Structure 1
């Protein structure tokens, strides 16, 4: 089972981060958290690595539906989106929402996962269109 939805862009890291924020917002997602993995590993371990940012994206109506179906689903929320440098390009990766259903086995989460997938796919498609 794959657990990600990924697009590769030819744009720079900072431009991609800005475009990801806009594409997610267009689909009703806000960014609740951001983890700059590059800076954290540098500060805590002295480790150098490529640009790597984890965004915790949330669509409140979908989060509410998921939490109504299963209060423990918060362990899998928000929808994580990674923007990371990959050679001369940038990858944008989103956790596949169907992972919620696969991990929990709760069919009540299927409509939430389906809508979240459609919205994330639309955001990723919008990003792909920027480099076409």
Structure 2
């Protein structure tokens, strides 16, 4: 399916789960395909060079521009935090974050007294 550009749906996922089981490689792959293909269906992997050519952009501005390409949800809000504003630091570091309205609602509903963990070996989430 992946090699031929077919979009999996819930029915196919259920059939794969019934045939192979819920926690094997095929089922996990199907669930990942269903999640990521829907998110990346309308994304544009190509850079529009007109947006950045001839401009002196800071690295944080380039990161915001890249986040706009990655987060293709229409209501996504992109934030930039400069750590030298947050604390008295000598080095100028920054964090760029994009949140969809659904993610914002989930974070608002999360209890304040419980920690929120982000699992993964990657530096970009």
Please give the TM-score of this superposition, normalised by the length of structure 1: 0.30
Q: Which has the higher helix share?
A: 1
Q: Of the two, which has the highest radius of gyration?
A: 2
Please give the TM-score of this superposition, normalised by the length of structure 2: 0.31
